[in-house]
Amino acid sequence: MSFEYLEFGKEEKDFIEKIEEISGQNVYSCYQCGKCSAGCAFSSSMDMTVNQLIHLIQLGQKRRVLEANTHWVCASCLTCTVRCPREIDVAALMEAVREYHLREEPEKIIISEIPKKAYDKLPNIALVSNFRKKTG
């Protein structure tokens, strides 16, 4: 198994701060109990559990976080938010990752160019996030 190299430089810190800024949450509050993942109805469809994603945010692992599908699978049902013992709005964190992703690549979705028939297949949450991004 190859070793994942951990760095704690400016890029990592900027990523953590941006996620915190968008979500209004303190990612360091999470002590990795895993209750969010345990209660998530979609955990089985995620390639990384919710707490693992938060752990990687704590470590500033931007690439790994953005590669995951976890935040896209999240339906914002808020079960995690309600149950978190550390009072973290986990759903807000997932939303923040989605927004970060979309802000990172502003040209990826140009709404006017999306074919009408694609609307049915696109995750609504992605579109909503995208609209929100446009509002600044």
Partner 1 sequence: MKIGVYVCECGSNIAATVDVEDIVERAKEFPNVEVSRVYKYMCADPGQEIIKKDIEEKGLDRIVIAACSPRMHEPTFRAVLEDKGLNPYVLEIVNIREQVSWVHENKEEGTEKAASLLKGAVLRIALMEPLERKKVGVTHKALVIGGGIAGIQASLDLADMGFKTTLVEKTSSIGGKMAQMDKTFPTLDCSQCILSPKMVDVGRHPNIELLSLSEVVEVDGYVGNFKVKIKKNPRYVLEEKCTLCDDCVPVCPVIVHDEYNQGFAPRKAIYIAYPQAIPASYVIDPDACLGIDPLICSKCKDVCGPEAIDFDMQPEIIEEEYGAIIIATGYETYPIENIGEYGYGTIPDVISGLDFERIISSGGPTGGKILRPSDATVPKTVVFIHCAGSRDPSKHLPYCSKVCCMYSTKHALQYKHVVHDGTAINFYIDIRTAGKDYEEFYQRAAEEDHVIYIRGKVSEVFQDGDKILIKSVDTLTGETVELHADLVVLATGMVPSEGTKEMASLLNVSVGINGFIREAHPKLKPVDTAIGGVFVAGTVTGPKDIPETVSNASGAASRAAGILSQDELEIEGTVAKVEESLCRGCGMCVEACPYSAIELKAVNKYGHTVQVAFVNEALCKGCGSCAAACLNGAINQLGYTDGQILELISALGEQ
∠ CA 104-124-127, nearest 5°, is 35
Burial (CB count within 10 angstroms: exposed 0-12, middle 13-18, buried 19+), residue 61: buried
Using CB under 8 A, which of 15, 36, 46, 52 touches partner 1?
Answer: 52
Q: Which stretch binds partner 1 (CB under 8 A): 26-34, 92-100, 111-119, 123-131?
A: 26-34
Minimum CB separation from partner 1 for residue 59, in Å? 7
Using CB under 8 A, which of 4, 105, 107, 113 touches partner 1?
Answer: 4
Core vs surface per residue 75-90: b (16+ CB within 10 A) or e: ebeebbbeebeeebbb
Comparing CB distances to partner 1, the nearer of 86 and 103 is: 86
Q: Write a three-state SS string for 42-95.
A: CHHHCCCCHHHHHHHHHCCCHHHHHHCCHHHHCCCCCHHHHHCCCCCCHHHHHH
Minimum CB separation from partner 1 for residue 96, in Å? 17
Q: Count CB-CB contacts under 10 A for residue 50.
A: 29
Using CB under 8 A, which of 11, 14, 24, 26 touches partner 1?
Answer: 26
Q: Which stretch binds partner 1 (CB under 8 A): 28-36, 98-106, 111-119, 128-136?
A: 28-36
Indicate whether 58 belongs to the interface with partner 1 (CB under 8 A). Answer: yes
Indicate whether 69 belongs to the interface with partner 1 (CB under 8 A). Answer: no
Q: What is the DSSP letter of 2?
A: P
Interacting residues toward partner 1 by CB under 8 A:
1-8, 26, 28-29, 31-32, 48, 51-52, 55-56, 58-59, 86
